[in-house]
Amino acid sequence: MRRSLIGLAYALGLPLILIAIWWIASLGATSIFVPKPVPLVSQFFEVWIGDRLLTDVLPSLGRFLAGTAIAIVLGVLIGLGVGLSRALRAFTEPVFEFFRAIPPPVLIPVFALVIGIGDDMRIAVIAFGAIWPVILNTIEGVRAADDVQTETSRSYGIHGLGRVRYQVLPSAAPQILAGVRQSLPIGIILMVISEMLYASSGLGFSIIQLQRSFAVPQMWSGILLLGLLGYAVSLLFKLVERRVLRWYHGLKELQNAS
Amino acid sequence: MPPENDIPAAVVAGRGRTLAPEQTLLSVRGLKKVYETDGGDIEAVRDLTFDLGRNELTCLVGPSGSGKTTLLKCIAGLLDPTEGEVVLDGRRVTGPPKKMAVVFQEYGRSLFPWLRVADNVELPLKNAGVPKARRAELVAEALESVGLAHVPRSYPWQLSGGMQQRVAIARAIAYQPEMLLMDEPFAAVDAQTRADLEDLVRQVRERLGVTVLFVTHDIDESVYLASRVIILSSSPTVIQEDLVIDLPDQRDQLETRALPRFTELRHHVYEQIQLAKRGFRPDDARVG
Amino acid sequence: MPPENDIPAAVVAGRGRTLAPEQTLLSVRGLKKVYETDGGDIEAVRDLTFDLGRNELTCLVGPSGSGKTTLLKCIAGLLDPTEGEVVLDGRRVTGPPKKMAVVFQEYGRSLFPWLRVADNVELPLKNAGVPKARRAELVAEALESVGLAHVPRSYPWQLSGGMQQRVAIARAIAYQPEMLLMDEPFAAVDAQTRADLEDLVRQVRERLGVTVLFVTHDIDESVYLASRVIILSSSPTVIQEDLVIDLPDQRDQLETRALPRFTELRHHVYEQIQLAKRGFRPDDARVG
Amino acid sequence: ACSSGSPSGPAETETAPAAEGGGDLTPITVGLLAIAPAAAVQYGIDEGIFEEHGLDVTVQMAQGGAAMLPAVSTGQYDFGVGNPLSVLTAASQGVDVRIASGYSFSLAEGDDINAVVARAGEGIESWSDLEGKKVSVNAVKTQGDLTIDEAVEQDGGDPSAVEYIEVAFPDALAQLDGGNVDAVWIPEPFLSAALADPDTYTVVGHPNQETIPGLPTMVTFTSGAVGEDAELLEAWRGAVSETLAAATEDREGFGQTISEFTGMPEAAAADLRLERLDAELDPQLIADLSDLAQKFEFLTSAPDLETVILD
Amino acid sequence: MTSPAPHDTITRTVAVAQARRRRRRFRPRRLLLGLAGILTFLLIWEIASRTGAVNPTYLPPASEVLVTFGANAALTGTWVAVGQTLWSWALGMLLALVLAVPLGIVIGLSPFLSRATRSTVEFLRPIPSVALIPLAVLAFAVPLQQSLLIITYGAFWQIFIQVLYGVADVDAVAMSTARSYGFSWWQRVRDVVFPTMLPYLLTGFRLAAAVALILAITAELVIGTPGVGKQAGLAKDAGLYASTYALVLLTGLLGVVINLGVRTAERRLLSWHQSVRGES
Ligand SMILES: Nc1ncnc2c1ncn2[C@@H]1O[C@H](COP(=O)(O)OP(=O)(O)OP(=O)(O)O)[C@@H](O)[C@H]1O
Ligand SMILES: Nc1ncnc2c1ncn2[C@@H]1O[C@H](COP(=O)(O)OP(=O)(O)OP(=O)(O)O)[C@@H](O)[C@H]1O
Ligand SMILES: [Mg+2]
Ligand SMILES: [Mg+2]
């Protein structure tokens, strides 16, 4: 009881202090560019709960989900294939290095050319940007499969798909999920950017729009929404990861404790 | 330097004992293994010949780097020998054979940390297509026999080192091998657990009629465990001595180790290994 | 169950031997340590009292989890005792004392991997402000005495486990402590190296006149090394027995271990630990 | 052995700040966009007109009205040149900006300098045909979609059924070709390019003329604080007025400046059809624009035109 | 590029180094295979465009793009743009580094501060830096400053988090050893904390370098800060498609060069650390 109260105090302490400072500092401010906590929160509900939820927020989320889902599935498949073969690894490495290094936003104009300026383009951009961490981490994870585990598998006649299923995938899972964790924020970023160019709807579009029309508190509420979204995605990921990698975290905790 | 006092020598210097085909489970013939590396070839094992009889418990000792692990891997079909052959039950070993199980020293890395204890034991059976009901039975039996029936739902890393190694042994038992290879399985567990595990291995051999080849660094352990100790020379490796352990079959951690004969055998093996370390080789002896 | 045959019992059951102040280097008095954790308090050590004389080599044995490491850390000033006190050379220990060195089991983690062997040995001297010339001398001497004079420019992780542990010992020696604490320093090295390191520790104590407190799991090791073995009960810990090892001062890996007295002592310690594991406690005995 | 020029087009000359100001010139900073009409200010600087009016001008290139307005309101820039709707929007949200003078206007009659263009033969001929179609504008919620909305409504269509997509002007015709949009709103010189190919493109109409003929496309603006400084304001207005007149007069020289200022090929700059440049501003036009913007809720509150338009 | 799991970094670095050393054996073959990979990629591109599988107007053949790329390399404008991009990248990285390292060490070393700041960090970190674009536009008039806000914000977290990991990774036994030998607080930071943290810091720097480049280019595209990204947008708007692709190629190469550069710097800085030497 006392412990959880202390925990709560730690979790809320600094944020409350910061908000208080912000509130006090903005009390006397008259410039409309300085955000104030109270209007910000009231604007938040006004702006985002309503039509915008359906026309902007949900479609954005849909594109984000579609793009990252494609990235994760394709990324793991490609990573597995490439990771298991030394030759394929050498064959693809420079090309992958290059593609990974391309800042994905610069592909928006290019994708707009080849695919057009619809949702497919946005999803493609998100998928393209988010796939590299998944691929590269899967490759590393597969490659780092423990020798002793591999020999154990072999000595018990576990090979081929059985080995992928029982040994390679689970042992690479922590690394794969580390890749997924990196790819999620990239997905969000690209969701926003892809809506800032050639857009007619979406979160990124709305926020730029609000900024252009000098609806400053509303714009801040949009930034807040993006922050919340990023936070929610990372929280959700953590939950999923905790479940999937229960063994891994248990193991790490134990190692760290010693 | 020939072996001294009343310890019987190997049948032929530089050779292990060979048996008649019907008694033999495993034959190693003229085994040679050369590793090809960047820095040139490393001849880890030069020429090994010996047979293991059914239900024997043989210990393999030798200086560090003498190729014990290499030999074991060749037998397990995990490495291809450069020359010579390994024959298990009449069939030449080219890949991991069905009825063989290996227990590695690195229990922490040989168990799959994402599987619970029971699932770890079950996995090879599942993969081999053993029916579910039979699997459950085998797993329960195996865990029972290593004294871990109470923790099937734990993860391996939640167990102590000794318990983990027992899980690895249970996995090997459940797989019902005819031959069990163990590579320094107890090197990293504490002395007390080690004693318990040693007795467990002897039990398992007795009850399941399995043939065991046991690699160890520990001279006491080899003498205590085995009915026979094969001493390897230093690398490139040949057999330094193939020693019969003529201790009573019923062994006990305190009593057996207190026997004068135990001390003698221990002493003998120790000296042989010291010899091996100093580079003495049986073929040198023959020439010299 | 009282100790049997001709082994002398501790002076007072549940208490270690205490000495006159002029002979004493280290006094532990009524030491108690309770860990406060999320899951509640854990009483690791209940009540320990004993003295270590100058230049003694004492081994501490006890079941796993009996608080050996805890006790050592309290003595080293790395942990604050909950009750009781530790007095080194007349001064109460509150933080890490100057003239004490600790060798941890985890040599891999206790050496700094980014420093070369010689730099690792030198660092504590450097931080203590020892002049450069003197440092070089001490480092060279220490490395020499552990037989590592030839690898000062290597990184620790380029060495074998046994060599790494010798570096840790060299670091402790170079620091010229009056008291050397060692926590299961050889648990992870192979048997042969272990034997060498054991002899090294005995040598160091003799040559440098340092007082050694040595924690080990290994009963043979404790009997072989020590002039005195303190056996701890299982947790919460008290002293189960404080045993004088009346073996000749000159020890030898083969001969000493072959002595009947060695086997007796070994046997005795073994039984005491079995007792401790089963939860027998000296104070229970007193009451029962 | 590098030749000058950039991979995205011909040479782009960095706009140098005005030459060393002599005497007691008032230093001012002016925010400009990299578009053709804005080059007139540069022309005026090059010709020394601003100096004659006692102004030492530093030009800051801005990326859009939205970035320029806050800078002007906080005094980082003294003046800006941008579209009046942005100024009204900012003012209605409480940003301290004032319209200082007129600058450029779309043509009240004849072929206007901006139009909505569709692919020929696809049946988009009148404003109401835009219903349910995708129309590109350079930026949503600005004068393009505002006047198109009104034009559609006047034609009996439903403006809320028109979908606007942001596409930069230079890219608009390509997107129209690619079928990603159904119609595009484009100004010169892209409009002329489309007009030159009547088989491919058809003009739907000129939305500015349709709604507010002679709509101011750009105005100059400043902050309230600068607006108080009657002397400075006077100097600025005088300079702008003279500059715009001179630029209109000297079409050839102005074309040169446009080419240098925007990186447009010289020939294109010389042929470019230009808006009407004039520093005089009829407040009624702004009022009309404000009303229209409120009607379509581009403005949520009415700006106080009395304060916004400096007299 | 994961955040290294605590504790076993050094061991793992060694293992990785050894693995790399082992891989070196296949160097010539690897090189050839890699080249073959690049050629195959270019070939597929060329064919896709030449056969019209993709509209060649919008995807010019690889050969044409490469020629344009070569031509662009002779233009000063290209190098000015590269310089502008790298300048904002470098400034942003510098700012992030200067802010993140001391803050990370101070917070990481204090259990109280780490606990008190955790929730705030957890909330601020996932905020996509591009969310700050509108803010940057309103707050700063100068495009470079707008870029810097975004770049610094994005890069800051990468470095900061790695520094925290690094400080948390300081081995308990190593720390006990230092304490038992009587090291002072400052000596412990210098001799134990800093060397442990350094590999993490460099990892953070590498991650941040990639993020910073992405954000620099994003800012150029969206806000219009001068640089390679802006050029690519302009080229596309002007219908110079081959040039657009050439510029995209350029950004990719820029990314590769930055990555290589940081890796080299990493090796240099850790050259005292033998475990890194095998890595090449
Ligand atoms: N993969 C390998 N590549 C090259 N050389 C190897 C390899 N594995 C082992 N060796 C070499 O072969 C020799 C025998 O090694 P092996 O591991 O079989 O010895 P061991 O008897 O098991 O030693 P230990 O007692 O230390 O486990 C050694 O010299 C070793 O360096
Ligand atoms: N940091 C800690 N927090 C809480 N409990 C601890 C901590 N360290 C040790 N303990 C507990 O204190 C008791 C004694 O631990 P300690 O490590 O001293 O035993 P040990 O005799 O050294 O054991 P081992 O032989 O396994 O090394 C154990 O029950 C252990 O769980
Ligand atoms: Mg081995
Ligand atoms: Mg301990």
Sheet with strand D98-105: strands edge to edge: D55-61, D26-32, D79-82, D216-222, D98-105, D276-277
Angstroms from C91 CA to nearest CA on chain E = 16
Q: Tell me: pLDDT of E86 over 90.
A: yes
For residue C68, the CA-to-ligand 4 centroid distance in Å is 6
Please, what is the Cα angle at A219 between A215 and A225, to 5 degrees?
A: 150
Residue range of the domain that includes A228: 38-257
Grouping H, G, I as helix, E, B as strand and the rest as coil, residue C69 is helix
Nearest to B214 by CA among B168, B169, B182, B166: B182
Q: Is the CB of C42 under 6 A from ligand 2?
A: yes
Grouping H, G, I as helix, E, B as strand and the rest as coil, residue A2 is helix
Contacts of B267 in chain C (CB under 8 A): 254, 258
SS3 content of chain B, % helix, strand, coil (to 5): 35, 25, 40
Judge whether A159 lies within some domain: yes
As beta bridge partners, residue B40 has: B37
Angstroms from A209 CA to nearest CA on chain D = 8
Instruction: Report strand pairing: C57-61 vs B239-244.
Output: unpaired
Q: Tell me: pLDDT of A101 over 90.
A: no
pLDDT, position D3: 58
Give tens-digit pLDDT for A59-83.
999 999 999 999 999 999 999 999 9
For chain A, what is the domain count?
Answer: 1
Count helices and strands (H / E) in chain A.
Answer: 13, 0
**SS3 readout for E53-80:** CCCCCCCCCHHHHHHHHHHHHCEHHHHH
Torsion angle of C-alpha atoms E166, E172, E178, E179, degrees rounded to 10: 120
For residue B2, the CA-to-ligand 3 centroid distance in Å is 27
User: Is the CB of D93 less than 8 angstroms away from the CB of A199?
Assistant: no
Q: By the CB < 8 Å criterion, does A250 face chain B?
A: yes
Report the C-alpha gap between D263 and A236 in whole angstroms: 49
User: Is the CB of A97 less than 8 angstroms away from the CB of E139?
Assistant: no
CATH number at residue A70: 1.10.3720.10
Grouping H, G, I as helix, E, B as strand and the rest as coil, residue B11 is coil
pLDDT, position B2: 45
Of B33, B35, B59, B234, the residue with max ligand 1 atoms within 8 A of its CB, to mutate for a pocket test, comes to B35
* Complex ipTM > 0.85: no
Among candidates E26, E123, E251 on the partner chain, residue whose Cβ is nearest the Cβ of A106 = E251
Report the C-alpha gap between E122 and E161 in whole angstroms: 10
For residue A74, the CA-to-ligand 4 centroid distance in Å is 48
Judge whether A1 lies within some domain: no
Of B38, B68, B70, the residue with max ligand 1 atoms within 8 A of its CB, to mutate for a pocket test, comes to B70
Among candidates A148, A151, A166 on the partner chain, residue whose Cβ is nearest the Cβ of B123 = A166
Report the C-alpha gap between A60 and A119 in whole angstroms: 10
Question: Which residue in the block uniquely carries the two structure tokens 């406060």?
Answer: C36
Q: Tell me: pLDDT of B20 over 70.
A: yes
Selected for mutation to probe chain B from C106, C192, C217, C266 (highest B CB count within 10 Å) is: C192
Chains adjacent to C (≥3 CB pairs closer than 8 angstroms):
B, E
Contacts of A217 in chain D (CB under 8 A): none
Judge whether A2 lies within some domain: no
Ligand number nearest to the C-alpha of B193:
2
Residues C197 and C165 sit within 8 Å (Cβ to Cβ): yes
Judge whether A9 lies within some domain: no
pLDDT, position E222: 81
Residues D118 and D124 sit within 8 Å (Cβ to Cβ): yes
Angstroms from B254 CA to nearest CA on chain C = 7
Judge whether A26 lies within some domain: no
Contacts of A210 in chain E (CB under 8 A): 134
User: Which 230-249 residues of chain A touch chain E by CB within 8 A?
Assistant: 230-231, 233-234
Grouping H, G, I as helix, E, B as strand and the rest as coil, residue D9 is strand
Judge whether A33 lies within some domain: no
Mean residue pLDDT across chain A: 86
Angstroms from C254 CA to nearest CA on chain B = 8
Q: By the CB < 8 Å criterion, does D86 face chain A?
A: yes
Q: Name the residue in chain C with its Cα closest to that of B271.
A: C254
Give tens-digit pLDDT for E209-232.
988 998 999 888 888 788 898 888
For residue C235, the CA-to-ligand 2 centroid distance in Å is 9
Residues B244 and B223 sit within 8 Å (Cβ to Cβ): no
Protein residues whose CB sits closer than 6 Å to any atom of ligand 1: B 35, 37, 42, 44, 62, 64-70, 217, 235
- pLDDT tens, residue order, chain C (288 aa): 444 444 444 445 567 788 888 888 899 999 999 988 777 788 888 888 999 998 899 999 988 788 888 899 999 998 899 999 999 988 899 989 888 999 988 877 888 888 889 999 999 999 989 999 999 999 999 998 888 888 888 888 778 777 888 899 999 999 989 999 999 888 767 777 788 889 989 988 888 889 999 999 888 899 999 999 999 888 778 888 889 998 888 888 888 888 889 989 998 998 888 888 777 777 644 433
Q: Tell me: pLDDT of A1 over 80.
A: no
User: Is the CB of A250 less than 8 angstroms away from the CB of B155?
Assistant: yes
Residues of C with CB under 8 A from a CB of E: 73, 76-78, 95-96, 98, 100-102, 104, 106, 108-110, 112-114, 123-124, 127-128, 155, 157-158, 175
Q: Tell me: pLDDT of B6 over 60.
A: no
Q: By the CB < 8 Å criterion, does D249 face chain E?
A: no
pLDDT, position C161: 77
Report the C-alpha gap between E128 and A203 in whole angstroms: 12
Taking CA atoms only, the protein residue closest to ligand 1 atom 30 is B65
Q: Tell me: pLDDT of B78 over 70.
A: yes
For residue C80, the CA-to-ligand 1 centroid distance in Å is 46
Label residue B28 left, alpha or beta by phi (over 0 means left) and psi (-120 to 50 means alpha).
Answer: beta
Instruction: Report strand pairing: B57-61 vs B100-103.
Output: unpaired
Exposure string over D268-297, b if 16+ CB within 10 A, otherwise e: bbeebebbbbbbebeeebbebbbebbbebe
Give the atom of ligand 1 at the shortest distance from the alpha carbon of B237. 14
Q: Is the CB of C106 under 6 A from ligand 2?
A: no
Token pair in block for residue E253: 């190469």
Max mean pLDDT among A198-212, E103-117, E138-152 falls in: E103-117
pLDDT, position B63: 83
Report the C-alpha gap between E148 and E90 in whole angstroms: 10
User: Which 55-84 residues of chain E touch chain A by CB within 8 A?
Assistant: 55, 58-59
Give tens-digit pLDDT for D127-174.
888 888 899 988 888 888 899 999 999 888 888 889 898 888 888 888
pLDDT, position E22: 47
Give tens-digit pLDDT for B92-104.
999 899 889 999 8
DSSP states of D80-146 as a string? Answer: EEE-HHHHHHHHHTT---EEEEEEEE--SSSS-SEEEEEETTSS--SGGGGTT-EEEESSSSSHHHH
User: Would you give the end-to-end CA distance of chain A in angstroms?
Assistant: 27
For residue B64, the CA-to-ligand 1 centroid distance in Å is 8
Report the C-alpha gap between C50 and C55 in whole angstroms: 15
For residue C221, the CA-to-ligand 1 centroid distance in Å is 28
User: Which 160-179 residues of chain A touch chain B by CB within 8 A?
Assistant: 162, 166-167, 170-171, 173
Token pair in block for residue C66: 């009996």
Judge whether A30 lies within some domain: no
Mean residue pLDDT across chain D: 84
Report the C-alpha gap between A244 and C52 in whole angstroms: 52
Q: Name the residue in chain D with its Cα closest to that of A215.
A: D93
Report the C-alpha gap between D140 and D149 in whole angstroms: 12
Q: How far is CA E12 from CA D15, D73, E16, E199, E275, in A?
A: 55, 57, 6, 12, 9
Taking CA atoms only, the protein residue closest to ligand 1 atom 14 is B67
For residue C106, the CA-to-ligand 4 centroid distance in Å is 10
Query: What is the arithmetic mean of pLDDT over A160-174?
Result: 91
Report the C-alpha gap between D56 and D232 in whole angstroms: 12
Residues A122 and A63 sit within 8 Å (Cβ to Cβ): yes
Report the C-alpha gap between C121 and C108 in whole angstroms: 14
Judge whether A203 lies within some domain: yes
User: Is the CB of B218 less than 8 angstroms away from the CB of C64?
Assistant: no
pLDDT, position D24: 78
Q: Is the CB of C66 under 6 A from ligand 2?
A: yes
Is residue A27 very low, low, confident or very high in pLDDT (cuts 50, 70, 90)?
Answer: confident
Taking CA atoms only, the protein residue closest to ligand 1 atom 31 is B65
pLDDT, position C283: 60
